[in-house]
Amino acid sequence: MADLLLRGGIVHRSPRDILVRDGRIERIGASLAATGADVIDVAGKLVLPGFVESHIHPDKAFIADRTQGLTAGGPTPQILVAELKKQFTVDDIYGRARKVLELAVRHGCTAMRAHVEIDAFVELRGVEAMQRLQRDLAGLLDLELIAFAQEGIFNDTVTQDLLREGVGMGLRWLGGCPYMDKDQRGHIDWFFETAQALGVPLDFHADSADDPALLTSEYIAEQTIERGMHGRVTLGHLCMLDVLEPPRRAEVVARLREARIHVISLPATEMHVKARTDTRRTWRGVARLGELRDAGLNVAVSTNNIVNPFTPYGHPDLLRQALVTAMVAHLGNLDQMAWLLEFITTNAARAIGLDGYGLAEGCRADLVVLDARDPAQAITEQSEKLYVIKAGRVVARNTRSTELRLSSGAHALVEDNIQVMPGGF
Ligand SMILES: [Zn+2]
């Protein structure tokens, strides 16, 4: 593979060249010599490390057309999907999930950690499909898989064994969902014991509801500390933190920090699913992410669901999730938008334990070049991802151009990527 030189991109707020060799960032500096490298001019364009999906469900994506979706007083999304899941075949899962992964790459994603549902309904068909994808798309993105118990582990007699089998087949994480079992603590204990026995890290869908009596994240943090699993546990959702009284929330957050729990927020799903019976001041279901970051937690944001009853308009574009997060979490000041992109890059990478990730010499050359000069513009304009680079190879190149047809004599607007022809074409 030829060396690659990205010329003049905005790297850590300054114009810099990036020289890529053997899939890694060899040098970052000013006016680097191109000798023999393929040169891409990205002058004035924002360069970031590739986006990282840390919590996503490709196996149940693109099924909104198989169900009526959520209705007042109707079934939960879990019930709707459980019914559909019985009919999933390996090829069906593969085709829908592949579309998710290809879209994700097109939108700047270079690494993904996906949940694979394992239970009595779908058994190990999702594992087979997702492992095929892992191999087939290996050059496009790194795909980590979680053996995930969406249906709980005490509701049938096969799920616990199937989860162990999933890890035996090569899945590198165990994923629990305490609120799907009546005995939440028993569920959490089983996952810690099994994860320790199998030597894998843990992820939980946790505290998705709004009743503080059901809180589990504090117990998970305590178990993490007691069992010495600091930094090896991620929690998705944590919506419940928002309904705790501030002093109580501070106690729980302190425990999460002590356990070095990674927090993954899923704002698009929360806003679609939560608080459907509220009649005023509708709860938006998203934890106070700025507050959690200020408290020293590692906070990431992810897409979660794509075109299914949980999020019918879900789409694996993390720049979109950054905008959704800015809107729902009151994060719109320029300094906030500057670090908001860390939620979908460096923080997400830390949450899933990616090595050699980042915009620094020696890191893997997983990069995205945006048609923007800074994060605020990228989020506000939902800028195009001009180049997506995986291990030093351009895997997606995108353009977005608009032609406005104005009548003769009208004002001509000229913006970044809009060509205006005042006299028409
Ligand atoms: Zn999820």
Domain harbouring 372, CATH code: 2.30.40.10
Least confident of 331-335, 366-370, 403-407: 403-407
Residue 404, domain member (yes or no): no
Written as six digits, the tokens of 52 are 């990282």
For residue 213, give its domain range.
51-351
Q: Residue 171: pLDDT above 80?
A: yes
CA of 308 to the centre of ligand 1 (A): 12
The mean per-residue pLDDT over the stretch 242-270 comes to 98
CA of 294 to the centre of ligand 1 (A): 25
CA of 62 to the centre of ligand 1 (A): 15
Task: Give residue 418's pLDDT band: very low, low, confident or very high (50, 70, 90).
Answer: low
Residues 239 and 380 grouped into a single domain: no
CA of 236 to the centre of ligand 1 (A): 7
Residues 374 and 278 grouped into a single domain: no
Residues 188 and 229 grouped into a single domain: yes
Task: Give residue 411's pLDDT band: very low, low, confident or very high (50, 70, 90).
Answer: low
CA of 365 to the centre of ligand 1 (A): 28
Residue 402, domain member (yes or no): no
CA of 361 to the centre of ligand 1 (A): 34
Q: Residue 275: pLDDT above 90?
A: yes
CA of 304 to the centre of ligand 1 (A): 5
Residue 422, domain member (yes or no): no
The mean per-residue pLDDT over the stretch 82-96 comes to 97
Q: What's the pLDDT at 406?
A: 72
Residues 345 and 201 grouped into a single domain: yes
164: left (phi over 0), alpha (psi -120 to 50) or beta: alpha
Residues 211 and 284 grouped into a single domain: yes
User: pTM of the predicted model, to two decimals?
Assistant: 0.95
The mean per-residue pLDDT over the stretch 338-351 comes to 97
Residues 378 and 233 grouped into a single domain: no
CA of 57 to the centre of ligand 1 (A): 6
CA of 412 to the centre of ligand 1 (A): 46
Residues 287 and 347 grouped into a single domain: yes
- Sign of the CA dihedral with 306 first, then 98, 140, and 17 last: negative
Residue 277, domain member (yes or no): yes
CA of 375 to the centre of ligand 1 (A): 27
More confident residue, 420 or 329: 329
User: Are 270 and 237 spatial neighbours (Cβ–Cβ below 8 Å)?
Assistant: yes
CA of 278 to the centre of ligand 1 (A): 23
CA of 97 to the centre of ligand 1 (A): 15
Residue 210, domain member (yes or no): yes
* Total count of domains within the chain: 2
